[in-house]
Amino acid sequence: MENLIALLVAAPLLGAAVLLCGGRRLDRVGHLLGTLLAAASFVIGVVLFADMLGKNADDRTFTQHLFSWIPVEGFQADVSFQLDQLSMTFVLLITGVGSLIHIYSIGYMEHDERRRRFFGYLNLFLAAMLLLVLADNYLLLYVGWEGVGLASYLLIGFWQHKPSAATAAKKAFLVNRVGDMGLSIAVMLMFTTFGTFAFGPVLKSAEEHLGGGATLTGIALMLLLAACGKSAQVPLQSWLGDAMEGPTPVSALIHAATMVTAGVYLIVRSGAVFNASPDAQLVVVVVGAVTLLFGAIVGCAKDDIKKALAGSTMSQIGYMVLAAGLGPIGYVFAIMHLVTHGFFKAGLFLGAGSVMHGMNDEVDMRKYGALRKYMPVTFVTFGLGYLAIIGFPGLSGFFSKDKIIEAAFAKGGTEGWILGSVALLGAAITAYYMTRVMIMTFFGEKRWQPDGEGHEPHPHESPKSMTIPMIVLAVGSVFAGGFFSIGDRFLHWLEPVTEHSHGNAPISATTVTAATMVVLVVGAGLAYLQYGRRPVPVVAPRGSLLTRAARRDLLQDDFNHVVLVRGGEHLTRSLVYVDHTLVDGVVNGTAASVGGLSGRLRKLQNGYARSYAVSMFGGAALIVAATLLMRAV
Amino acid sequence: MSAAAVHSLWTTAADPMLKIPAPKIEYGQLSPTLIVIGAAVVGVLVEAFVPRRSRYYVQAFLAVVALAAAFAAVVGLAAGGYGTTKAHIAAMGAISVDGPALFLQGVILLTGLVAIFTFAERRLDPEAHGNRVDSFAAQAASVPGSDSEKAAVKAGFTTTEVFPLALFAIGGMLVFPSANDLLTLFIALEVFSLPLYLLCALARRKRLMSQEAAVKYFLLGAFASAFTLFGIALLYGYAGSVSYGKIADVVDGSVQNIDPALADTMGNDALLLIGVAMVAMGLLFKVGAVPFHMWTPDVYQGAPTPVTGFMAAATKVAAFGALLRLLYVVLPGMRWDWRPVMWGIAIITMLGGAIVAITQTDIKRLLAYSSIAHAGFILAGVIATTPDGISSVLFYLGAYSFVTVGAFAVVTLVRDAGGEATHLSKWAGLGRRSPLVAAVFAVFLLAFAGIPLTSGFAGKFAVFKAAAEGGAGALVVIGVISSAIAAFFYIRVIVLMFFSEPKADGPTVAVPSPLTMTTIGVGVAVTVVLGLAPQYFLDLANQASVFVR
The parent domain of residue B280 ranges over 21-543
Read off the amino acid at residue A405.
I
Q: pLDDT tens across A602-623, in order?
A: 888 888 999 999 999 999 999 9
Q: What are phi and psi of B419, to 5 degrees?
A: 100, -145
Mean pLDDT of chain A: 89
Read off the amino acid at residue B350.
M
| Per-residue pLDDT at A488 | 86
Neighbours of A130 (CB within 10 A): 30
Using DSSP's 3-state secondary structure scheme, residue A234 falls into: coil
Give me the helix-helix angle, B207-239 and B269-287, nearest 10°: 160
In a domain, B385, yes or no: yes
B34 vs B66: CA distance, rounded Å: 10
Read off the amino acid at residue B263.
A
**Which residue positions in chain B have pLDDT lower than 50?**
1, 6
A405 vs A419: CA distance, rounded Å: 8
Q: pLDDT tens across A289-305, in order?
A: 999 999 999 999 888 99
Q: Are A326 and A275 in contact (CB under 8 A)?
A: no
Neighbours of B148 (CB within 10 A): 12
Is the preceding omega at residue B291 within 30 degrees of 0, hence cis? yes
Averaged over A350-374, what is the pLDDT? 87
Output helix, strand, coil percentages for chain A, rounded to the nearest 5: 75, 5, 20
Q: Are strands B419-420 and B508-509 parallel, antiparallel or unpaired?
A: unpaired
In a domain, B307, yes or no: yes
Angle at A476 between CA A369 and CA A328, to 5 degrees: 115
Give me the helix-helix angle, A115-134 and A30-53, nearest 10°: 20
Nearest chain B residue (CA) to A611: B294
Q: What is the domain partition of chain A in residue ranges?
A: 285-450+457-541, 561-632
Nearest CB to A68; choose among B270, B465, B535? B535
Q: What is the DSSP string of B242-263?
A: -BHHHHHHHHHT---PPPGGGT
- Rounded to whole angstroms, what are the CA distances from A594 to A447, A588, A591, B349, B488? 72, 10, 5, 15, 11
A242 vs A86: CA distance, rounded Å: 30
> Which residues lie across from A83 on neighbouring strands?
A62
| Per-residue pLDDT at B24 | 87
B160 vs B182: CA distance, rounded Å: 33
**Structural domains counted in chain B:** 1
Chain B contact probe: residue of A146, A602, A608, A611 with most B CBs at under 10 A: A602
The whole model's pTM is what? 0.73
Q: What are phi and psi of A369, to 5 degrees?
A: 105, 135
Nearest CB to B277; choose among A605, A613, A627? A627
Which run of H or of E encompasses A241? helix A239-242
Closest Cα in chain B, distance from residue A597 (Å): 7
Residues of A in contact with B251 (CB under 8 A): none
In a domain, B255, yes or no: yes
Closest Cα in chain B, distance from residue A27 (Å): 19
More confident: A457 or B446: B446
| Per-residue pLDDT at B1 | 45
Contact B359 A602 (CB under 8 A): yes
Interface of A with B (CB under 8 A): 67-72, 79, 591, 594-595, 597-599, 601-602, 604-605, 607, 609, 611-613, 615-616, 618-620, 622-624, 626-628, 630-631
Helix ranges restricted to H, A270-304: 271-275, 278-301
B505 vs B490: CA distance, rounded Å: 24
Q: pLDDT tens across B278-335, in order?
A: 999 999 999 999 899 999 999 999 999 999 999 999 999 999 999 999 999 998 888 8
- Per residue, what are the HEC states of B307-346? HHHHHHHHHHHHHHHHHHHHHHHHCHHHHHHHHHHHHHHH
Work out the burial of residue A383: count CB atoms within 10 Å of its CB; fewer than 13 is exposed, 13-18 middle, 19 or more buried. Answer: middle
A269 vs A190: CA distance, rounded Å: 14
Residues of A in contact with B219 (CB under 8 A): 609, 613
Contact A613 B223 (CB under 8 A): yes
Closest Cα in chain A, distance from residue B153 (Å): 30
When computed from its CA atoms, the radius of gyration of chain B, rounded to whole angstroms, is 24
Nearest chain B residue (CA) to A601: B356
Q: pLDDT tens across B354-389, in order?
A: 999 999 999 999 999 999 999 999 999 999 888 889
B174 vs B104: CA distance, rounded Å: 8
Say if residue A72's pLDDT is above 80: no
| Per-residue pLDDT at A450 | 76
Would you say the C-alpha torsion A483, A487, A491, A494 has a positive or negative sign? Answer: negative
Nearest chain A residue (CA) to B469: A73
Nearest CB to A605; choose among B297, B345, B534? B297
Q: pLDDT tens across B460-508, in order?
A: 999 999 999 988 889 999 999 999 999 999 999 999 999 988 888 888 8
